[in-house]
Amino acid sequence: MSLSQIKVIAFDADDTLWVNETFFRKAEEEFCILLEAYMPKEEANTLLFDIEMKNLPLYGYGIKPFTLSLIEAAITISKGNLETELIQKLIEKGKQMLLEPVELIDGIDRTLNELSKKYRLVMATKGDLLDQERKLIKSGLEKYFHHIEIVSDKTEKQYRKLIRHLDITEQEFLMVGNSLKSDVIPVLNIGAHAFHIPFHTTWVHEMVDQEVCHPNFKSFTQASELLTIL
């Protein structure tokens, strides 16, 4: 790998810049407790996930689609017998998630500050436009980024499009993120560089049964380690 070629570093947002998955896990747990009278918790959790996956192509990623899936799952689990009060609680849960404070990942501010002096930095994320913009502004990290890319999904096609838009070659592009499935594998497949910084919690949908071994790939335990080689 020739790191000296790199001109642009793109950072994933959720669980790379700030904590995200933890809020979803907590909401799922609360959902299962609320519905416990109708279905055992683990079963309810699986059913919720299946509904989320079914809705994904139509709704995309983010808290608002998640809220709709919570309501749909609750109706299914209770066989239509749930009280309005419970639906209200699920709607409130979603709103509460949208208002959570932004908690930065350790060392990310310093890392971005240093890297922004040497590279063009980009934020490249999936999810809901309004919510990702809200988090970016609240995070105080906006000043480090030249460009913000919020896409419906992170595919090889989307990465190629981003690289073309940035007016660079694949070899000049490095993606940093917590998901092997979204931030690493499609990036390596198009000949660009990808660094993985895992977060302690990974959504089942983002899990891959694959060991990544590639000359353009490295794995780190925390963001500040990037400064030792970049």
Rounded distance, CA 201 to CA 204, Å? 9
State in angstroms the smallest separation of the CB of 109 from Mg ion.
17
Chosen residue from 8, 10, 14, 123 binding Mg ion by CB under 5 A: 14
Residue 14 has which token pair? 């959720």
Residues 175-204 touching Mg ion, rule: CB under 5 A, are 178-179
Number of chain positions touching Mg ion (CB under 5 A):
5
Residue 204 has which token pair? 């089942």
Told to check if 15 binds Mg ion by CB under 5 A, we report yes
Told to check if 216 binds Mg ion by CB under 5 A, we report no
Nearer to Mg ion, 32 or 197 (CB): 197
Helix, strand, coil share of the chain (percent; to 5):
50, 15, 35
Nearer to Mg ion, 44 or 175 (CB): 175
Nearer to Mg ion, 111 or 179 (CB): 179
The contact pattern for Mg ion, residues 139-168, with x = CB under 5 A and - = no contact, is: ------------------------------
Q: Scanning the structure block, which residue is given the tokens 């699920």?
A: 90
Residue 11 has which token pair? 């950072």
Give 92-139 as a DSSP string: HHHHHHHTPPP-BPTTHHHHHHHHTTTSEEEEEEES-HHHHHHHHHHH
State in angstroms the smallest separation of the CB of 77 from Mg ion.
28
Binding site for Mg ion (CB under 5 A): 12, 14-15, 178-179
